[in-house]
Structure 1
């Protein structure tokens, strides 16, 4: 008792000393002077059962689902943005059919109540030690990690951008700062070439680069300027669309509306002062062609989140390396991924996030119980191909590029009903279904729609 009492008194004196706490970075060291010699410090950490990186569609959705699974106080979400945007609607914003304000809500309003929100950027992920560092100096430790960091836009990889957006007649529906520039370029169009590009990288919503082309053509037709416009779609891809059924339907539209499509053409430079766009012929590297433009819509090159680089979480291309069936990381069993940041071989869309969220929820439940994941993601994704101001071809397909249609009609045809679903129903489903963790895609309803035949 005497010894323990002496130690207690000694420690109390040390801790009370003004010389005791010496802060160094995020660690606190105690100088015990003549009492003790201590050379190591304790890191200041906060621990959560589940940490979610990213507050986009995948992050908020999984945050809501994990809150119900383990309780709000055991879940943390790291997201720096004060605003959350429903980006699929930007196609219609760029065409003047929706306002930019209708696409955003404060992040605080969609954040699952009760979970800890760190308004910071992730600066380091250390899966070996189960920790995450942020630019605010916080270090979070976790039992399970969900990575939903989306992807990064790289306008700077096109010579002349992003500074070229300061000039009129050029826009991009992929950025909050440039989407309204698309609408300005379209409504101020006089005559000449209207050019739409698709980059030589994976992109989110692979149909969007041509959706704005169809809408622009419809607008020019409606305003009597169509005869003065030469509409050009230059894509790096060898096909118009990755799923043959829908590609065939789109080629018919291209022919009937007199649109010019150049395959394997990649935008490498913009000269806004001359209104010139330079494209490389990917089938003959080094060969370039200059197109003059009156309007230019740029889809930027895109890539994985830079924070994944060197983390041992990424594949050779830099994307989060997950099992395509279960969305569990291939190396670290307590790490999972969802959405655009992953290397699952399907299109990067909000519809894919919905279907993935239901599978990932089940996967995490099994892993927590030390069981093997038993539910598989089939690669389902959806792309409502807007072909005018009142028609849509609703493309739905799986990993194999096979149509996986929900409705008992031929979705390869233009439909007014599908347009209203895209423009009016889907945003409601996003805000009140998906982000609440209540919508896992149309899979369960597909058989019902097809009377059990599919």
Structure 2
């Protein structure tokens, strides 16, 4: 497929094939933009297939579908934002290339703001736990800051509670509050989505084409749950025995399935890393088994855990205690077994399993299946100048400062640091980012460092938890003396922490800027 050059930095093409994508990479294109809606005609190569090929070849990709019935102004705004944020040269494609050329013209004609509509000391992208905690920590130190938090959500969730919802311990309503109720006083909430970053001009582009400028940017937009990466999953979630505690509306369905299952086969899956809360896939298994044990039906249920990885848990010190429960519940472990498809109507799950040097596909029948989806950085992060090769925001692991843009910081699930992606990690990161961002705002270097701390309370049975706490490299970082809580052994006190203490600490401590047990560590201090 020949590529037609519109400008030195922009070319267009008709529908690409995978060979065309390879040719584009060979010609030096750095970004591919798809302007053709998926499913426009039978047999059309999906944008997802093009994206996978492009990213495998080191190119950026974004999807800006334009209807064949005609362009609208917002198409030009989105295209302009992408062209400003993505590396060039750019190759855009549609059915014939005509729409891509027209939308490029529309982008060029779209009115550019002569100055950013808003300017702030600090702009925080993401109003989840990381963003709200960081804003609160900053305001505790300097109430005169101008801070904007950008997030389109109406609802704020306590996501660590969803495992407990799936086990019938918490109600779903216990884990949600309005976003407005958690927004710190003194910040401006911009209730819009972000479409791109322009670090060279210190600006964030919003979905409507407007921009917000900053002196310091804190990016914590979370992680994308890629449900569509598993064939057939989206169509069957919430029915046919297919559930996931990774969604607020599905966790109660998990509890219902566990209560109703008296015999049969229960599958639990874990996708490739990175994922948020790496212990959560097996937590759902342990708590389900504990409920079946209490109901005296566990012996009639075939429990299977399919893990894409090669080990039960990434920090070896906690594995012996976990294996005791695997044996107790007679759960069968399937390592290097990745879920790739779900047929809900037939109640069949398909896995790709590594066998030596080969990979085979295996079909497993189920009566219920708890699925954890693959997880990636949000699209507007992956396709931005802030992204590392893995798509996440590239930061220094100690200071959480961007490696190329010193007035940008990132934390939480969207940053590239190798820590476990947990709420406990964000709780520890927020004060570090707060003091470092304020230091940069004053023209200084970062003053605090982060040790990679993350916590994973592994709910091995109803009433007991293995409290995994560790940092970079799997180093154990316990918060309590061993005589009080031995994190490598199941503990009732750890369950009390998870069940009773941590929720109010989250709502009334972390989100309010109270840094109990997480004061930022000064660089160079013992």
Q: Which bin holds the TM-score, normalised by the shorter protein?
A: 0.7 to 0.9
Structure-2 separation of matches of 1:78 and 1:393: 36
Q: Which residue of 105, 122, 139 corresponds with 1:50?
A: 122
2:393 alignment partner, one of 307, 313, 320: 320
- CA–CA distance in structure 2, aligned partners of residues 76 and 139 of structure 1: 12
TM-score, scaled relative to structure 2: 0.75
CA distance in 1, matches of 2:112, 2:307: 57
| Structure 1 equivalent of residue 68 of structure 2 | none
1:392 to 447, 461, 465: 465
Superposition pairs for residues 139-154 of structure 1, below 5 Å? Answer: 139-154=211-226
SS in 2 for 1:80: coil
Tell me, yes or no, if the aligned pair for 1:73 and 1:116 is still in contact at 8 Å. Answer: no
Give SS of 1:435's match: helix
What does residue 410 of structure 2 align with?
Answer: 337
Q: How many angstroms apart in 1 are the aligned matches of 2:236 and 2:515?
A: 40
Is 1:273 paired with 2:345? yes
- Distance in 2 between residues matched to 1:166 and 1:285, nearest whole Å: 33
Point out where structure 2 has 5 or more consecutive residues left out of the alignment: 1-75, 79-110
Does the CA contact (< 8 Å) of 2:140 and 2:513 recur in 1? no
Deviates more, 1:431-440 or 1:293-302: 431-440
Q: Which residue of 1 aligns with 2:446?
A: 373
Kept in 1: contact 2:264–2:366 (CA 8 A)? yes
Corresponding residue for 1:12?
A: none
Cα distance, 1:357–1:441 mapped onto 2, change above 3 Å: farther
In the alignment, the residues of structure 1 paired with residue 354 and residue 410 of structure 2 have an alpha-carbon distance, to the nearest angstrom, of 32
Q: In 2, are the aligned partners of 1:355 and 1:440 still within 8 Å (CA)?
A: no
Relative distance call for 1:45 and 1:282 in structure 2 (3 A) is: farther
**Aligned residue pairs, count:** 412
Deviation at 1:252, TM superposition (A): 1.9
- d(CA) in 2 for partners of 1:390 and 1:64? 33
Show the counterpart of 2:493.
417
Are 1:346 and 2:419 counterparts? Answer: yes
Residues 320/419 of structure 1: CA separation in 2 closer, same or farther (3 Å cut): same
TM-score when normalising by structure 1: 0.87
Computing the radius of gyration from Cα coordinates, the structure with the larger value is 1
Asked whether the equivalents of residues 72 and 113 of structure 1 are also in contact (C-alpha less than 8 Å), the reply is: no
Partner Cα distance (1:243, 1:101) in 2:
33
**Structure 1 residue runs of 4 or more that deviate by more than 3 Å after TM superposition:** 68-73, 282-286, 440-445
Write the mapping of 1:175-190 to structure 2, written as runs, cut at 5 A: 175-190=247-262
Shift, 1:377, TM fit: 0.7
Aligned to 1:240: 312
Q: What's 1:4 paired with? A: none
How far is the alpha carbon of 1:184 from its aligned partner? 1.9
Matched, 1:120 2:192: yes
Kindly tell me: are residues 346 and 25 of structure 1, through their superposed partners in 2, closer, same or farther at Cα, counting changes over 3 Å? closer
- Within 5 A, what are the aligned runs for 1:12-51? 42-43=114-115, 45-51=117-123
Q: Which residue of 2 aligns with 1:60?
A: 132
Name the CA distance, whole Å, in 2 between partners of 1:166 and 1:423: 26
- Equivalent position of 1:357 in the other structure: 430
State the distance in 2 between where 1:443 and 1:241 align: 28
Task: Name the CA distance, whole Å, in 1 between partners of 2:254 and 2:273.
Answer: 21
Give how far 1:238 is off: 0.7
Number of the residue aligned with 2:371: 298
Q: What is the rounded CA distance, in whole Å, between the counterparts of 2:203 and 2:300 in structure 1?
A: 59
* Deviations, residues 290-314 of structure 1 (Å, cap 9, x unaligned): 1111110000000001111332100
Query: Is 2:172 aligned against 1:96?
Result: no
Which structure 1 segments of 5+ residues have no match? Answer: 1-23, 27-38, 446-453
Q: Give the SS at the match of 1:128.
A: helix
Q: Is the 8 A contact 1:354 1:440 kept in 2?
A: no
Q: Alpha-carbon deviations, 1:56-101, whole Å to 9, x = none?
A: 0001011112233443661000011111000000001011111000
